[in-house]
Structure 1
Amino acid sequence: MVVTAMVGAAVVGAQYVAGKAARDALFLANFDTSSLPSMVIATSMMSIALVVASSRRLVRVSPGTYVPVAFAASAILLLVEWGLTSTAPGLAARILYLQISGFGPLLGSGFWLIASERFDPHTAKKRFGQIAAAGTLGGLIAGLLAARVATLGDVGAMLPLVAALNLACAWQIRRLARAPDEWRRASGQPARTLKAAPAPATSGWRILAETPYLRNLAALVLVGTMAAIFLDQVFKTQVKAVLGPGASLGSFFALYYASTSLVTFVVQTWGSRIALEKLGLAAAAGAPSITLLAGSAASLLLPGFTSLVATRGSETVVRGSLYRAGYELFFTPVGPRDKRAVKSVIDVGFDRTGDIVGAGLIQSLLWLPQPRQTRVLLGIAMACSAVGLWVASRLRRGYLQSLERSLLNRAVELDLSEVEDLTTRTAMLRTLRFSQPSARPGGGSADAIAHAASTARTEAAYPEIPAIGALRSRDSERILAVLRGENGLSASLVPHVVPLLAWDPVAFEAVHALRTVAEERVGELTDALLDPNQEFAVRRRLARVFSVCVSQRAADGLLLGLEDLRFEVRFQCGRSLLAIAEKSPSVRIDQERVFAMVRKEVAVNSDVWTSRKLLDAADEGDTRSFLDELVRARASQSLAHVFTLLALVLPTEPLRIAFRGLHTSDQGLRGTALEYLEGALPSDIRERLWPFLEDRRTTRRTTRPSEELLADLLRSRESIAINLEQLRRRSGARPEDQAE
């Protein structure tokens, strides 16, 4: 599904970039730049009307149906416009401008609406960056292709290309909308249909009125859009003056949008995350204003085509990368139901209002002669950018306060390990700190008392919040207090305890605490055990937690854990699986699967076989195995693991005696053990295992009946024990060492 979404983003980005190139080229080929302000006003009003209409429509129609149909309709309209370019090019240019500028953003928004509802929040945070990058890359390719088409034909020749891309969008988005249902049907799960979200409980305007920092964000969008439209007017006027009407406009705009897409892709990939981590949201939000201020100043000092292209391109890149990454995060404190309402008000309402106000001001200044008009428009753009910087500087404080309240009130759920930007991480850490009684603000002021009362109510309703704060504190005393709690671990605490297995000061207690809930949380623990991104220390210690389980689910999880790349994880999975099998005879373990794992273990050279060591010693909570008495004193870890696996599918008592017999100095007893193994093991395993047993005899198939071998082996039990005790005394080893 991720690949489907990435392909969908690529074609959506491609059609939008190619459409913008065709829009600008066709319009400027037929009209003067003085006509741009009136078109911007018209498209803004049309866009607002379309948003209202589509929002109502989505209440009744699934986005998975509505959005592909809209793309298909857009493709048909593009073909109609292509036909008009030869008979009524002016009309075609106006309709195309309204379509691309008014309808185009809604099509892209529809794609992201479907994507956001098709991915769970955890997957979305990991994959949306890749999906967005695919969209930018698609725009780059489309820009280069459009430039080639414009070179070979006239400006209108780009329209069939854009129409084909719209049809591809309709098909790919329909696939994305249906992809999870096909997966669910294949796996036997019920299909889930996309439905429009229920109407928000509160209007977007009311949320805006009650949230000061969102009002500042709306003001930033308003003045930022105004600044951008002033710069855009100057930019397109200069392009028209230098290139004139004709096919060269199509090539220029196609290459311009392709270049900005490429740079935006690079900045998105390598710069956005660093900027968010180091500078925070306010700096990212103010980045376009800084860029426009500096670029406009440079254009006034060094006027000309090159400086204006560089300024407009830089502002576009920063707005599409740094600003966009920070802007979306400003809606984190808003609950899911209210987010859609207030976001549409800011995204569309204030953005289009900025277009309308800016275009109106431009229209009132068109009487000014050049180059004075350019200087005045750049000056107004700089003034708007300065206001935008001031508004951006006010965003951080309000955002932090709103996020802290939302976290404490459980309006939003966040995972600190997944938060990238500095501002949100700071808010979360402050929230966790203030949720502790020792960290509450002091003093007797009304605010302090109100804060203490609110915190007390929150802790009473959600007692796990202080515990989560303690588990993340890296304070071993606070962590141990939670792990040793009388009530055990709740479901919400388990994900925060698992990472503590990697921290030695509390790892033992973490293992013990997880064992108390292991059977209840076996699914969650299995996911962590099988996650290759988990630390090695977490996986090897988590495998020991399963030793107290008795269910088939736990056994199945450990069988999968036996395929881990690290030996100690496999070793501990084998021990825990044997403990489950001994306690629960009803647990099913496939013999051929176990033999296949044994074959993998013995398919190594002698250096690897002898070098395998364990980092963790056993503790009193571990289930004892028949291998423990020899595993540290004489037996290799590799051989012990192989015998653990064999004990899952072969009779345990004879295998235990054979394992002990292999470590005696009596060649007769050792020979009996080897002869039993010759008859019990498959031939290919026996041939690979024999060199590690240091047996110099020629491997041969025994002719003695298996019943006779087994009886002989069982009679040797006491002799083996006496021989091992003599070896122990001779080496001076203590019994307790052997038992470890």
Structure 2
Amino acid sequence: MSRIRLFPRIDTDEVHLVWSLSLLHFLVILAFTLARIARDGLLLSTVSVVYLPYISVGLAFWTALAVHLFDRLSAGLSSPKVLSRAALLTGLSVALFSVWFRQDGPAAAIVFYLWVSAYGVLLVAQFWIVANEQLHPGRARRLIGLIGAAGILGGIVAGLLAVLLGPVLSPPVGLLIIVAAHLAIPFATRGLERSQADSLEAERARAALERSTSALASRYVQLLVLLFLVAGVTSGVLDYQFKYALQQRSTDPHELTWLLGLFNAAQNVLALAAGLGLSGLLLSRVGVRVTSAVLPVGILLGSGAILLWPVLVPVFATRLYEATLRTSITRSAREFLFFPLRDEVRARAKRFIESVIDRGADAVAGLLILGLNVLLGGTILQLTALTIVLVVIWLVVEVVVTRAYSTELSSSVERMLGYQPPVVPSRHEPEAVAGLVSLLGSSRETHVLYALDRLLAIDPEAVRERVPDLLKHASSSVRFRVMASPELNAAAILRNTAAVAAAGVSSGASEPASREEAATVRPDGIPDDEGLDALLDDPDGEVRRASFRLVAATQERSYVPALVARLEHTRQRKDARDALASFGSLIVGTLGDYLADRRSSLKVRREIPRVLATIGSQDAVHSLLRVADDRDCPILLQRTLWALNRVRKSDVSLFLPRATIARQLHDDVDVYLRLMIHRAPLSGMTNGPDVRLLHRAVTERLERAHELIFRRLALLYPPRDILRARRGLDSSDTRLRTQAREYLDSILTIDDRWMLAPLVGEEAEAERVRAAAFRLQLEPPSLLQVLRTLLASRDSWLRACTLYLIGSKRLDELADLVAKHLDARDATVRETAAWAMAHLSSRV
């Protein structure tokens, strides 16, 4: 495993950004937490807790109205400016409440509760909108935990202020401290204001967002709404249990403020530790899926403890656990759930979920608590049972959302790559088809060929009826276009008219006497072996194609060796592949024997995977797997894995031995890591063509190993998505690369994610090399050690490049190894070794 990093890396150009966002988050959470403590303390000291569910229901409607007004008032403004003005307005409103509390108690407490609950979540959501605009996903993975920790620190400071000042200050005076925190926020946003051009761009994006009516129509967004709703309802029930227990203990406002301050301080200290240490570690090691499930699983265990011991301690601990993780680890994980969304959808969905849905969840929790109180009495055990039911639903939704998250990430990568599905030809009107069919009777070759091409795309059946007449057409191009078209299935007609077709061939080409002699036919209408060979090797391309189609129509295995032999020749290769593929599963075993036979021509073996991929059956998979780990010929291995990918893309139900493929994948990763380690000493020596040549050779092997790894991954995971993610990783677009990494993190198992971390990580090359060396338990090698290792490899070109470097640099320490290559079997290696020895011997 790679070295564990508890503190994220911050690049030089990110220092100002991290400082600005961290300070802003600190102030937003400080102001909101102080207001929330005052809100809860004032309400519990003047209003019975049994009325809290009614207040929650009213809060949902009030928050929906507040979100609507907030959107209207913020239209046309940049996100930092919206946050700045909102903080200023709410700070002044808290000052007005300070005056009101001196005159009225219960009414002011209820209105203040509603006001703080609405504007607090809007301020927090607006901050994260600002942060998302400033951070691309690559930075977010590293820095979001640190920025989130600054907010947690703000909560800690708020809790300590409440503990220290709550017993000595009256509530109206305490509100003035909250006012000061709000008024400091506009100063912190100044460093995040964009340029005028960026502001205009933001205005255009926001205008498009306002026009968009489909933000909540996405199934993925709907699942996010459901997830946040269920999680919020569960949190609301736990919050009610906690406040019920607090009110049972005391109704004194000073003591309640002290207890709430203590709770918030403890919660934020734990959240800070979790955010700085565990958040990034969990996200990088186990991904979003497992990290998101940590919170509901812990609540489920805590609820079980409450059932066994229904007292204050387990209730307090469960609520503390929920509040701690919700504001740290879970908060960071949930930010990633929004990354796959389009830019015009993300801000609107996020604001809606984190304000309307959160408050709506409180209302739903309130209604459930009211029903429980009316029907059963609302005891601690009954509330715990309700919590367990909600957590089970939460876990089910969590599983569905994580699967949808992977799908949405794949769609996001596809969208950013600019992929467009192939266009399916549409059928034309009957009048158009009839017009094209009439052209088939034309004596002009161009008219007939045009009609054939169009009709084969839109209505092949209309051509099949005219095949006998087309085979008698005066143009040889028309005749062989029909014979070579798989859509027409002209083979059956060729069986009965082989002699006529052969004569037609002769009439349209040179050397008619020899052609007729070569086309001697057997009684069943098929040319004899000698005549068939002559037709398959005919210099006329149209004749060859018709002959290959004729052989394919026979489905006789005796012709397979002749077809396989012609895979070696470039001009016959495609027709031979098509003819072999038409035999289907009938010859899959034979093709597998040719593929695995090292005595067969390598050119022939390289073409067979394409034939097996076209056949695409389970038997074809077994034949391909016979050489899926043959590393003697890299091109053959590459084409074999390509063929397996193609077969699996066409039919994912085909069986593949996962254990065998996983072992081969592990071997490929080891090869990649060793090559990466070997390239490191060469990367710092770019002077001279000798070093550049060897560096390029190692890099080419590294890229080849990288492709093999993803080809094998495509045999274990969704093939199209895996290969699409690889294209994303190779992109120069930072956001696209990050989306591709997120997708891989969302579908890979923990072991595979750990194994592939040095390959797909965003760390610098030097750091990934150190991780690879640690993984393989190797010390970083010196240049001489690398050269010794490369000379011992089975790759002839790598050895030749290494020998060239040794001779150019006159490295006498390796003269003994150079001498051993003077008798190498490979001519290039042998000649380079002789050249290197001559240079070593001539050193003065």
TM range (shorter): 0.5 to 0.7
Structure 1 CA distance for aligned equivalents of residues 170 and 418 of structure 2:
52
Contact preservation (8 Å) 2:30, 2:151: yes
Deviations 1:96-134 (A, max 9, x none): 212221111111222222233234444444333211111
Contact preservation (8 Å) 2:80, 2:130: yes
Q: Does 1:351 align with 2:321?
A: no
Q: Does 1:25 align with 2:230?
A: no
Deviations 1:151-203 (A, max 9, x none): 21233432111111111112212x2333x65xx9xxxxx88677343455798
Pairwise CA distance, 1:441: 5.2
Q: Does 1:507 align with 2:695?
A: yes
Which residue of 2 is the match for residue 303 of structure 1? Answer: 310
Which residue of 1 is the match for residue 383 of structure 2? Answer: 377
Which residue of 2 is the match for residue 230 of structure 1? Answer: 237
SS at match of 1:88: coil
Q: Does 1:218 align with 2:231?
A: no
Q: Does 1:46 align with 2:69?
A: no
Describe the shift of the 1:735–1:193 C-alpha distance in structure 2 as closer, same or farther (beyond 3 A).
Answer: same
Structure 1 CA distance for aligned equivalents of residues 231 and 38 of structure 2:
25
User: Structure 2: any 5+ residue segments left out of the alignment?
Assistant: 1-15, 420-637, 655-664, 686-690, 703-733, 735-761, 771-781, 784-800, 814-836
Describe the shift of the 1:89–1:252 C-alpha distance in structure 2 as closer, same or farther (beyond 3 A).
Answer: same
Counterpart residue type for residue 407 of structure 1: V
Structure 1 CA distance for aligned equivalents of residues 418 and 29 of structure 2:
30
SS at match of 1:110: helix
Q: Does 1:87 align with 2:103?
A: yes
* Equivalent of residue 71 in structure 2, options 55, 64, 84: 55
* Equivalent of residue 406 in structure 2, options 400, 407, 411: 400
Deviations 1:123-154 (A, max 9, x none): 44433321111111121012101221112123
Structure 2 CA distance for aligned equivalents of residues 259 and 41 of structure 1:
29
Structure 2 CA distance for aligned equivalents of residues 26 and 277 of structure 1:
42
Structure 2 CA distance for aligned equivalents of residues 305 and 82 of structure 1:
33
Counterpart residue type for residue 442 of structure 1: V
* Equivalent of residue 149 in structure 2, options 133, 142, 158: 133
Describe the shift of the 1:478–1:126 C-alpha distance in structure 2 as closer, same or farther (beyond 3 A).
Answer: closer
Counterpart residue type for residue 146 of structure 2: Q
Which residue of 2 is the match for residue 246 of structure 1? Answer: 253
Deviations 1:696-734 (A, max 9, x none): xxxxxxxxxxxxxxxxxxxxxxxxxxxxxxxxxxxxx97
Alignment of 1:586-597 (within 5 A): none
Describe the shift of the 1:412–1:194 C-alpha distance in structure 2 as closer, same or farther (beyond 3 A).
Answer: same
* Equivalent of residue 393 in structure 2, options 387, 392, 408: 387
Structure 1 CA distance for aligned equivalents of residues 273 and 673 of structure 2:
44
SS at match of 1:148: helix
Structure 1 CA distance for aligned equivalents of residues 62 and 366 of structure 2:
15
Q: Does 1:176 align with 2:381?
A: no
Pairwise CA distance, 1:477: 10
Pairwise CA distance, 1:402: 2.9
Structure 2 CA distance for aligned equivalents of residues 477 and 146 of structure 1:
56
Pairwise CA distance, 1:267: 1.2
Which residue of 2 is the match for residue 716 of structure 1? Answer: none
Q: Does 1:12 align with 2:32?
A: no
Contact preservation (8 Å) 2:118, 2:355: no
Counterpart residue type for residue 321 of structure 2: S
Counterpart residue type for residue 18 of structure 1: L
Structure 2 CA distance for aligned equivalents of residues 477 and 533 of structure 1:
16
Structure 1 CA distance for aligned equivalents of residues 347 and 254 of structure 2:
42
SS at match of 2:292: helix
TM-score, with length taken from structure 1: 0.57
Counterpart residue type for residue 195 of structure 1: A
Pairwise CA distance, 1:210: 4.3
User: Structure 1: any 5+ residue segments left out of the alignment?
Assistant: 185-189, 414-432, 450-469, 484-496, 515-523, 525-530, 540-567, 570-616, 634-732
Deviations 1:484-540 (A, max 9, x none): xxxxxxxxxxxxx999959999734367999xxxxxxxxx9xxxxxx995529999x
SS at match of 1:442: helix
Structure 1 CA distance for aligned equivalents of residues 364 and 113 of structure 2:
19
Counterpart residue type for residue 108 of structure 1: V
Which residue of 2 is the match for residue 158 of structure 1? Answer: 174
Deviations 1:450-494 (A, max 9, x none): xxxxxxxxxxxxxxxxxxxx9x975979999xx9xxxxxxxxxxx
Structure 2 CA distance for aligned equivalents of residues 441 and 356 of structure 1:
52
Contact preservation (8 Å) 1:502, 1:537: no
Describe the shift of the 1:500–1:71 C-alpha distance in structure 2 as closer, same or farther (beyond 3 A).
Answer: farther
Counterpart residue type for residue 282 of structure 1: R
Contact preservation (8 Å) 1:335, 1:411: no
Contact preservation (8 Å) 2:60, 2:356: no
Contact preservation (8 Å) 1:205, 1:342: no
Counterpart residue type for residue 219 of structure 1: L
Pairwise CA distance, 1:277: 4.0
SS at match of 2:262: helix
Structure 1 CA distance for aligned equivalents of residues 340 and 169 of structure 2:
51
Pairwise CA distance, 1:739: 6.9
Alignment of 1:262-661 (within 5 A): 262-367=269-374, 372-410=378-416, 437-438=642-643, 440=645, 442=647, 501=683, 507-509=695-697, 534-535=765-766
Structure 1 CA distance for aligned equivalents of residues 234 and 367 of structure 2:
13
Contact preservation (8 Å) 1:4, 1:176: yes
Describe the shift of the 1:402–1:437 C-alpha distance in structure 2 as closer, same or farther (beyond 3 A).
Answer: farther
Q: Does 1:255 align with 2:262?
A: yes
Structure 2 CA distance for aligned equivalents of residues 512 and 394 of structure 1:
41
Contact preservation (8 Å) 1:502, 1:535: no
Describe the shift of the 1:357–1:255 C-alpha distance in structure 2 as closer, same or farther (beyond 3 A).
Answer: same
Pairwise CA distance, 1:351: 2.9
Counterpart residue type for residue 167 of structure 1: L
Structure 2 CA distance for aligned equivalents of residues 281 and 304 of structure 1:
34
Which residue of 2 is the match for residue 726 of structure 1? Answer: none
Pairwise CA distance, 1:25: 0.4
Deviations 1:254-286 (A, max 9, x none): 111111111111111222233334444333323
Contact preservation (8 Å) 2:30, 2:181: yes
Q: RMSD in angstroms over aligned alpha carbons?
A: 4.7
Which residue of 1 is the match for residue 572 of structure 2? Answer: none
Structure 1 CA distance for aligned equivalents of residues 245 and 304 of structure 2:
17
Identity %: 22
Contact preservation (8 Å) 1:79, 1:163: yes
Structure 1 CA distance for aligned equivalents of residues 221 and 841 of structure 2:
66
| Number of aligned residue pairs | 484
TM-score, with length taken from structure 2: 0.50
Which residue of 2 is the match for residue 105 of structure 1? Answer: 121
Describe the shift of the 1:258–1:535 C-alpha distance in structure 2 as closer, same or farther (beyond 3 A).
Answer: same
Deviations 1:405-461 (A, max 9, x none): 332342699xxxxxxxxxxxxxxxxxxx99x84453526968899xxxxxxxxxxxx
Contact preservation (8 Å) 2:215, 2:349: yes
Counterpart residue type for residue 695 of structure 2: A
SS at match of 1:10: helix
Contact preservation (8 Å) 1:204, 1:342: no
